[in-house]
């Protein structure tokens, strides 16, 4: 591939990623979540890392478990395709759209304790970042593998039986 083409593709990918991040960060501000109301900005550049709740997994609720289960089930065949080198642009784009849609539902139905919610934001931020990468390049190591990594992190830090 010519150098100029690669630069154009990278530039377009960065532009797309910026647009998605802007949409996401501005699209959820001020949503009401039962007793607590806060903006669901997924900015975790401050060095935040996932932690357990005093050595135990964070509590979950039914809407969170349902949404994460739907994501998990839909990722399995896409991950198998990725491992075989068969994850195409269309499948990758659909996965990214599905992830963003499910995350929107998770946020809309959020009823977690604020500390658990903060931990979930880290997982969600990683999932959205992976989705953006997948949309730009289905074979990216920052896409599907990072999405699977985020799902594993969720499983290790949140009480979700049989996840």
pLDDT tens for 39-85 read 444 333 445 799 999 999 999 999 999 999 999 999 999 999 999 99
Asked if residue 162 belongs to a domain, the reply is no
The percent of residues in the chain predicted with pLDDT above 90, rounded, is 65
SS3 per residue for 19-79? HHHHHHHHHCCCCEECCEECCCCCCCCCCCCCCCECCECECCCHHHHHHHHHHHHHHHHHH
What pLDDT, on the 0 to 100 scale, is given for residue 48?
Answer: 73
Question: For residue range 3-24, what is the model confidence (pLDDT) as tens digits?
Answer: 665 665 664 444 444 444 444 4
Asked if residue 118 belongs to a domain, the reply is yes
What pLDDT, on the 0 to 100 scale, is given for residue 4?
Answer: 60
Asked if residue 163 belongs to a domain, the reply is no
Asked if residue 114 belongs to a domain, the reply is yes
Structural domain tally of the chain? 1
What pLDDT, on the 0 to 100 scale, is given for residue 110?
Answer: 86
Asked if residue 107 belongs to a domain, the reply is yes
């Amino acid at each position: 591939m010519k150098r100029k083409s690669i630069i154009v593709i990278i530039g377009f990918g960065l532009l797309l990623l910026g647009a998605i991040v802007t949409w996401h960060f501005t699209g959820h501000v001020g949503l009401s979540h039962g007793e607590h109301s806060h903006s669901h900005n997924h900015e975790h550049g401050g060095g935040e890392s996932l932690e357990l709740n005093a050595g135990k997994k964070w509590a979950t609720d039914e809407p969170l478990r349902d949404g994460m289960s739907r994501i998990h089930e839909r990722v399995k065949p896409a991950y198998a395709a990725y491992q075989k080198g068969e994850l195409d642009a269309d499948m990758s784009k659909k996965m990214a759209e599905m992830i963003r849609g499910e995350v929107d539902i998770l946020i809309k139905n959020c009823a977690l304790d604020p500390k658990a919610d903060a931990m979930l934001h880290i997982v969600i931020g990683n999932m959205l970042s992976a989705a953006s990468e997948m949309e730009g390049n289905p074979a990216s190591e920052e896409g599907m593998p990072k999405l699977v990594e985020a799902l594993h992190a969720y499983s290790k830090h949140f009480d979700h039986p049989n996840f």
